[in-house]
Structures are given as structure tokens and as C-alpha cells.
Structure 1
Amino acid sequence: MTQLPPLNGLRAFEAAGRRLTFRAAADELGVTQGAVAQQVRHLESHLGQPLFERLPKGLALTPAGRSYHAQISMAFDDMRRATDSLKPEPGDAMISVTPTFAAKWLIPNLPEFSALHPDIDLQILATERVSSFHSDGIDLAIRQGRPPFGASLDAIRLFQHNIIAVAAPSLLENHPLPLATATIAHLPKLHDSHDLWPAFLKRLNIQDQSAHGLRLSQTTLAVDAALSGQGIALVSHFLVARDISAGNLVQVTPEVMQGDHEFYLLVQRKSRQSPAIEAVIAWLTSTAELESSDPATATP
């Protein structure tokens, strides 16, 4: 068998043939310019013919060098592909969620996902607008609504929209729980863009008599205002289950109002061929199912 050329010489020749300077090849390979030049000379000596013309401002491949470089480059590409095929394929997935879902549920749960799937890069697009699977390049979305959502989409229900009233303990000093209807009527209300208070008060047969309240553009802001003791917020139970368990918020009345639109995970069917996408789907659905069945977080 004909002896193979020195591998270091081939690496130096392949890089120098692409860059056409020994300096640029040396920077790419992390060695000195002299080392690249010497390795190429050894290769030329082994082959018995020059591969480069040394010019004042760089290099030019000889006809033999040009032909040889094309074949060596293909061989290195084959070796890179063969090596890559042995490595675990890193995955990435982009999910579109509302800022409230991101801040109050997804991000607090992400450490568990990262521990289970350190090789998956989960990108989060938090926006109030409805993202496009095509123009925004998303793979998954969490949306409130009712199926069907689209012929090319799979829809998996994650959470019911069980709306409860919550407040910080500091707001409820000297008020026993559950709050009396008169107390609820007088305490400040925190309103968001969903405007749920009129329907909730009607269910309790309460006329609002609070002197003031805040109007906020997002539910996450209403929850933050509730945490700081500024009023009572209406929010889906699963979004505040952690704060209730930690004692940061309390449910002020056992009344639960079922919202019209539940929370669904949407995914393009063609994206489900990706192991990374399937792993994200499995984690989201299993985590949602676990929290929904956990007595510590179940809706009263």
C-alpha cells in the first residue's frame, strides 16, 4: 500500500489552498505561519512536486495543486460529516408565548427542562401578538383559544382557564378568609386587557364600590401589582400556583370562573420530525399534566 502523506501537511495544504496565504491558514489552524509553510514543504517533498507558486503577496495553486486540493477538500468534508454523524445532534426550538405565560409559568419551570435536555436550545419569543409559524420562524406556540387552529397544526390542551381572585396577605390584614362580599366590593381591583372583573363580580352578585384600581396592559403586570399589595387580581390558577404555595398570594374567595379560551400547545406537524421538538412537546405536556393533578396546585 502506498504510504499516505503526513496528515498535518494535508491539513496545512487544505487550509492554505482555501486562504491562499500561509498567515491566514496559520490563524485558522492555531499554529505559526512558519509551521504551515514547513508542513506544506514536507508534503510537496513527499509528493515530489510543487503545489503552490509563492508570490510576493500570497500563494497560487499550481495546476497539479489545484486538482489535488479539490480532492483533498472533498476528503476532509467526508471526514467532517462522518465525525458529525457520531455526535449527538444539538437541537433547537423556538416557542411563541405571551409575556404572562413566559414570566409566570415557562421561565420558572425552565431549570428543570435545561437539566433534562442540556443539548436543546429553547428560544422564547414573548409577545402579545399572534406569531406566524412561517414569517417568524417559530416551531411551537402557546395560545388561548378553541380548536381548530389550522389544518397543518396539532393542538394539545395544556391548561384549563380557571380564573381565581388573588391578593397579597399584606392587603388582607384584619380581613378573615374567605373575604366577605362587602370586603371584596370595597378593596381595589387590578384590571388587565382581558377585563374579567365585571363578569366575576356579577357571579358573586357584587356591586364594585372600590374607590380606585389600576388598569394594566398585561396580566403579568396585574399579578406583580397584586404581589406588591396594590389590589386583587383575576388570573388563571396555574399562573399563580407557585405564589400561592409560597404564601406570596392567597385566593380571596373559593369562586372559580371558567374562561372561554383554554391554553393550547400548537405545533406544525412537519416540525414533529425533529427529536428536539418532540422533547419540548413531551416536557410541556408532562409538566402541565403533573401540575394540573398536583393537590398542592389543584384548583379548589
Structure 2
Amino acid sequence: MSQLPPLNGLRAFEMAGRVLNFRAAADELGVTQGAVAQQVRQLETHLGVPLFERLSKGLAFTSAGRSYHVNVAAAFEALRSATDQLKPEPGKVLVSVTPTFAAKWLIPNLPDFSAKHPDIDLRILATEKVSSFHGDGIDLAVRQGKPPFGASLDAHLLFRQEVIAVSAPSLVSEHTLPVSPQAMSSMPKLHDAHDLWPEFLGLLNIEDRGGRGLRLSQTSLAVDAALFGQGVALVSRFLVAAELEAKRLVQITPQNLTGERDFYLLATRKSKQNSAIDSVVAWLLERAER
């Protein structure tokens, strides 16, 4: 800690660098102009380099001051963000989901949530990264996997894993549904990061004769490509239930992949003390059951 610059000086420098004026910085900080100027001078003495050029109408960065301010401002922003995550905000619930789950299931269902819980500020963190309840400040998470997920977590089953092959009706218009394994073999395949086609083709005991196909980073993109008739996608049934019902997509073969990687809603044990989180959990479970 002895190697750190004076923190009051850093705070004064960060604010003065934003407005390039000691008086305006003092107004923002609620201190005198002289106090800000003195704290910045002490910081410059500690560092051994001038950070500002004092002008008649304000301040200008030195080259060292400009680059230093970028880093100092980023550090203060990180501190503000970390502090905001710790502060309890009544009615705010942050849920971590994958982009595909967000785009294909959660967002289409949100109008129902908003109508039932207008007082809850539901925030969605859509990321492929496994978010941390502590490090990222999330309240709930949807994960695909197999319990147990951790001693401090409660896991609620949302959806069983059931992966099916779907396409646009136009792609199979010349075939009778369900299509034969031989016809499936020759169709273009849409590949995503889960790479389930080898297992699915093995289930049908066929080889892939549909060419290289299109490779995409997310299942949601594969579903979108399927909707435009660009190939056959493998996707969990619940993610395309609306498209199947509206006949924008069709399941082209009755076979499906099942396994132990089901979809779970995770919550920490302490979240039970939060009524807003309880309401979101109850809504997610009720909606998933439908």
C-alpha cells in the first residue's frame, strides 16, 4: 500500500482531467478549488512528473498526464462498477443465460413476465461465458448440464434435453415427412458449436453426403439459417416450439437425441430471502412447464 499514490490526489486528478478545470472539479467533489489544486500537486510530486499544464482559462494535459488519466479513469470506473454490484437494488434481478436461450425462448416470453411483474427490473446477461454469481453479480443462471452444480446452489429443472432435426418446409417440399435416412444424408447440414451431427447421423446409421454445410458459432444462428431454408439444424425442441407450431419449421425425422445435459435454473441459497428473485424463479418454472 505504501507504493500507491495518494488516493485523494488520484480522485482529484481523475475529476480535474474530466473537466480540465480545478474550479469545476472542486464543485463536483464538494471541496474548495485550492484543495483540488493542492491534491493534484501532491500527486505530481509523488510521481515526479507534471500531469497538467496550468493555463489562464483552465488546464491542459501533458503527454504523460493524458495517458495516465486514461488508466486512472478506468480504475475508478471499475471501482464504481464493483461497488454498484454490491449494493442491493430492490426489484432488480440479473439472470445469466446463453445467447440462444435468450433469443429463442426467454425474450419471446418476456411480454408475459412484464405484464405479471411490472415492478421487477429483470436484466438479462446473454453470454457463452459461465458467469459467476459472486464475480459477475448475477442472481440467477440457466445452465445446461448435470447436477450437482455446487453445494451453495439450488437447481430447478426447466427442460429435458431433446435435440431434434428441423428445417424450413421448403427444404423438404419434395419429400414425404418424415424423410428417409437416405434423404437426410444428402441434405445440407447446419453446424453449431455443439457439433451434434456426428452423433445424430450415427443414431440414423448414415453418413453425411450433404457437403460441408454452413458452420455457425451459436445454435440461434443455425435456427435462423434453417428458417431461411439453408439447411437442417439440430436444436432442443423447446427452443423452436413456436416455430414448429406456426409451421415455419418442421421436424423432418422422428429420431431425437436425449442425454443428461438438461436445462436447469440455478439460484444461490441466500436468494430465497429476495422476493423479486423468488417471483422470477416461480415465473420461469411456470412458463417452462407450459
2:267 is matched with which residue? 267
Residue in 1 that maps onto 2:153: 153
Deviation of residue 151 (structure 1)?
1.1
TM-score under structure 2 length normalisation: 0.68
* Cα displacement (A) at 1:132: 0.4
Consecutive unaligned residues of structure 1, counting only runs of 5 or more, are: 1-88, 291-300
Q: Which residue in 2 is equivalent to 1:133? A: 133
Alignment correspondent of 1:214: 214
TM-fit CA distance, 1:260 = 3.0
- How far apart, in 2, do the equivalents of 1:186 and 1:113 lie? 42
Deviation for aligned residue 1:259: 3.0
CA contact (8 A) 1:139 1:271 kept: yes
Q: State the alpha-carbon separation in 2 of the partners of residues 90 and 140 from structure 1.
A: 15
CA shift digits 1:240-273 (9 cap, x unpaired)? 0000001110000011110331000000111111
- In the aligned structure 2, how far is the partner of 1:134 from the partner of 1:205? 46
Question: Is the 8 Å Cα contact of residues 90 and 119 (structure 1) preserved in structure 2?
Answer: no
CA distance in 2, matches of 1:272, 1:141: 14
Shift of 1:90: 5.3
Q: How does 1:107-126 map to 2 (within 5 A)?
A: 107-126=107-126
Alignment of 1:18-167 (within 5 A): 91-167=91-167
Q: Counterpart of 1:274 in structure 2: which amino acid?
A: N
Distance in 1 between residues matched to 2:97 and 2:259, nearest whole Å = 18
Q: Secondary structure at the match of 1:179?
A: coil
Alignment of 1:179-198 (within 5 A): 179-198=179-198
Matched residue, 1:9:
none
Q: 1:223, CA displacement in angstroms? A: 0.5
Note if contact 1:163-1:259 (Cα within 8 Å) is conserved in structure 2.
no
Name the amino acid aligned to 2:184. Answer: I
2:47 is matched with none
Distance 1:194 1:211 in 2: 19
**Alignment-mate amino acid for residue 263 of structure 1:** F
Report the residue type matching 1:226 in the other structure: A
Partner amino acid for 1:236?
S
Q: Deviations 1:108-164 (Å, cap 9, x if unpaired)?
A: 000000000000010000000100001100000000011111111100111001010
Q: Secondary structure at the match of 1:285?
A: helix
Structure 2 Cα separation of the partners of residues 198 and 185 of structure 1: 11
Task: Return the alpha-carbon distance in structure 2 between the equivalents of residues 260 and 194 of structure 1.
Answer: 15
Q: Which residue pairs with 2:286 in the alignment?
A: 286
Q: Which residue of 1 aligns with 2:12?
A: none
Alpha-carbon distance in structure 2 between the residues aligned to 1:90 and 1:210: 53
**Paired letter, 2:158:** L
Residue of structure 2 in register with 1:57 after alignment: none
Question: 1:251 is matched with which residue?
Answer: 251
Return the letter of the residue paired with 1:148.
P
Structure 1 counterpart SS, 2:147: coil
Deviations 1:163-214 (A, max 9, x none): 1000001111211110011110000000111110001011111111112301
Q: Larger deviation: 254-263 or 186-195? A: 254-263
Q: Tell me, in whole angstroms, the C-alpha distance in 2 between the residues paired with 1:103 and 1:162.
A: 18
Alignment partners' CA distance in 2, 1:103 and 1:264: 17
Q: TM-score, normalised by structure 1?
A: 0.66
- TM-superposed CA distance for 1:229, in Å, is 0.4
User: 2: CA distance between counterparts of 1:262 and 1:227?
Assistant: 25
Structure 2 unaligned regions, length at least 5: 1-88
* Partner of residue 175, structure 1: 175
d(CA) in 2 for partners of 1:95 and 1:272? 15
Percent of residue pairs identical: 65
Aligned length: 203
The letter of the residue matching 1:120 is I
Give, as a single letter, the amino acid of the residue that structure 1 aligns with 2:207. Q
SS of alignment partner, residue 163 of structure 2? strand
Asked if residue 199 in structure 1 is aligned to residue 195 in structure 2, the reply is no
Question: What is the match of residue 235 of structure 2?
Answer: 235
How far apart are the structure 1 equivalents of 2:112 and 2:140?
A: 19
